Amino acid sequence: MMRSPAAVATAVRRPNGEIVVTAFRGVAARYKVLNIPILRGGVNLIETLVLGMESLNFSADQAMAEDERPKDQPSSWKQQAGMALTMIVAFALGIGVFFYLPLLLTDWTGQLLHTDWTGGKGGIAFNLVDGAFRIAFFVAYIWGISLWKDMRRVFEYHGAEHKSIYVFEAGLPLEPEESKKFTTLHPRCGTSFLLLVMLTSIVVFSFLGRPDNLGERLLRIAFVPVIAGIAYELIKLSAKPACQRWMMPLILPGLWLQKITTKEPSLEQVEVAMAAINACLAYEGDKAPSTARPVLTLSAASI
């Protein structure tokens, strides 16, 4: 899956070798008010979660041979309801594991050590411990899924995305061979973004103090889109040459983590990633409809 300022595209290779691409204009490109700094980061996070589920479903469907696909497809509203339920459950689990559970563990740790962390309401030490638990859970999750054998192929495609983006940013022809010159680690990666969200949350939550009741804990959860917005702006800032040196301490941890979430791809996988880039470029040039999701079938030789 590739994103550009105007579009989102997903490319999949079918068993017969064809590359199928679905693309459409992103919600922030359709509604300019959603492109306001800070707000756009939260919108991007939510949209990416939804599109990630859709892309996985699209990929699974296209990866099956024609005669393997089920004859009776569920109705559209059932598919949407099922996806919505899956998203709600996934989001609730994410909030529970990465934001609420660290709070409980920090409270229990304080009780075990017989300390109130700061002796007052400020809770800086509390939020540092809370953030340490959150980051530990995130890294453990990334490491855990990397042990799943089937995830290696996903991580190879992740590497293919990064290599393809490097080729585009270097102004080189979008040809798989060009990708051999570049690494699989990219500073503006989703992995880096999520880790930066974890780090940013420590600073933001420190201003909110130590939560003593349910309302204050729910307030922290309500701040998650704001935190995502701040992290998104930091990621964008890191792309500016004048900011790269002083932003490097924030970017390096994400690059280190990408050594787990990216693997060296094959040229065939890079070809698929480049097909998604080409689909996004069509929208950047206003050569595609604004809201439709066309499905294009490309032969391997056409990229």
Higher-pLDDT residue of 81, 209 = 209
Asked whether residue 136 is domain-assigned, the answer is yes
Q: Cα separation of 55 and 48, whole Å?
A: 10
Domains: count for the chain? 1
Give pLDDT tens digits for 127-186.
Answer: 999 999 999 999 999 999 999 988 999 999 999 999 999 999 999 999 999 999 999 999
Q: Are 199 and 131 in contact (CB under 8 A)?
A: yes
Assess if residue 119 is contained within a domain: yes
Instruction: Give residue 160's pLDDT.
Output: 96
The pLDDT-based confidence of 92 (bands split at 50, 70, 90) is confident
Identify the three-state secondary structure at position 16.
Answer: coil
Closest to 231 (Cα-Cα) out of 195, 187, 185: 195
- Structural contact between residues 153 and 137, judged by C-beta atoms closer than 8 angstroms: no
Q: Tell whether 260 is covered by a domain.
A: yes
DSSP 8-state secondary structure symbol assigned to residue 275: H
Q: What is the pLDDT of residue 288?
A: 47
Closest to 267 in 3D by CA, of 177, 192, 173: 177
- Taking residues 56-61, what's their average pLDDT? 79
pLDDT of amino acid 253 = 93
In a domain, 211, yes or no: yes
Render pLDDT for 233-258 as a digit per residue (tens, 0 to 9). Answer: 999 888 888 888 888 888 899 999 99
Confidence at residue 89, expressed as pLDDT on a 0 to 100 scale: 83
pLDDT tens for 17-45 read 899 998 888 888 888 888 899 998 888 88
Residue type, 94: G
Instruction: Assess if residue 70 is contained within a domain.
Output: no
Confidence check: pLDDT of 107 > 90 = no
Range of the domain at 286: 2-65+78-302
Residue 72 lies in a domain: no
Instruction: Please name the amino acid found at residue 145.
Output: I
Q: Which residues contact 238 (CB under 8 A, 6 or more apart)?
A: 187, 188, 244, 247, 250, 251
In a domain, 157, yes or no: yes
Q: Is residue 297 part of a domain?
A: yes
Task: Tell me the per-residue pLDDT of 266-282, one tens digit each, with 9 for 90 and over.
Answer: 999 999 999 999 998 88
